[in-house]
Amino acid sequence: MMVLSKYKNPKIRVLLILVFGLSAAIGLSVVSRGRLDSNQPQNWQGVSKIDAELLQQVVKENYFESAENHPFTRMTFLKIQPSKQSSPLFIFDFNEPQLCGKGGCLFAGYIRDLDTAAYKQVLRVLLPKPFGTSPRISLIESRKHQSINCLNVSLSVRQESETFQNLSYCYNGNNFVQVNREYVIQTIEDES
């Protein structure tokens, strides 16, 4: 309380305490949210388990080569089931050096349109893959837009301090767009 002792006015003291308390609460909530996102298990699967119609569309919309020349063994997908939605979101990690650049590697998301039964691309984004790891992608259960859950993408920034960059994407009626970016720092406790 040495910092507060130089302020004689009690209103200023109360204001500083409130600001400090609010800042601490926000900081803790960001760290705990990052910890949950970074530890959430991911179930990336090989594309042999995906609907052939969807796979053909994904390849056609994201590759310049024909499907016969593509090594599907590297491509993986993540199936995310939004709450109260009958159609899951499929996110594809192409694991293809030709689809990576300075800004990251291509990830694409698809959802089935319930009216037409056709798949629609709703996410197309370059994401970095530091340390050779795919990003952790999860739903933000408490945040929806256009009645679809927003997504949180958690990217490792530094291994030694478990620093993460969390990106939030929300659906705008046509596709997912980035609405927020924040950094979360977690310290690794030495177990020795």
Which of 163, 188, 166, 168 has the alpha carbon at shortest distance from 178?
168
Per-residue pLDDT of the chain (192 residues; tens, 9 = 90+): 444 556 566 776 665 565 554 444 444 344 344 334 444 457 888 888 888 889 889 988 887 664 456 556 788 899 998 777 778 999 999 887 778 888 888 899 999 888 888 999 999 998 887 766 778 888 887 777 667 788 999 887 766 667 788 899 998 988 999 998 888 876 555 554
- Write down the pTM of the prediction: 0.69
b/e map 5-39, b = 16+ CB within 10 Å: eeeeeeeeeeeeeeeeeeeeeeeeeeeebbeebbe
Alpha-carbon distances, residue 186 vs 37, 102, 146, 163, 168 (angstroms): 12, 26, 33, 6, 19
**pLDDT for residue 38:** 42
User: Residue 159's pLDDT is what?
Assistant: 62
Contact between 43 and 136 (Cβ < 8 Å):
no
For residue 177, the SS3 value is strand
Query: Contact, 100 vs 106, CB < 8 A?
Result: yes
pLDDT at 169: 93
For position 108, what pLDDT does the model report? 94
Q: Which domains does the chain have, with CATH numbers?
A: 42-185 (2.40.128)
Q: What is the pLDDT of residue 37?
A: 42
Answer for the pair 59, 67: CB distance below 8 angstroms, yes or no: yes
Report the alpha-carbon distance of residue 121 to residue 61 in Å, rounded.
9
Separation CA 78–CA 177 (nearest Å): 19
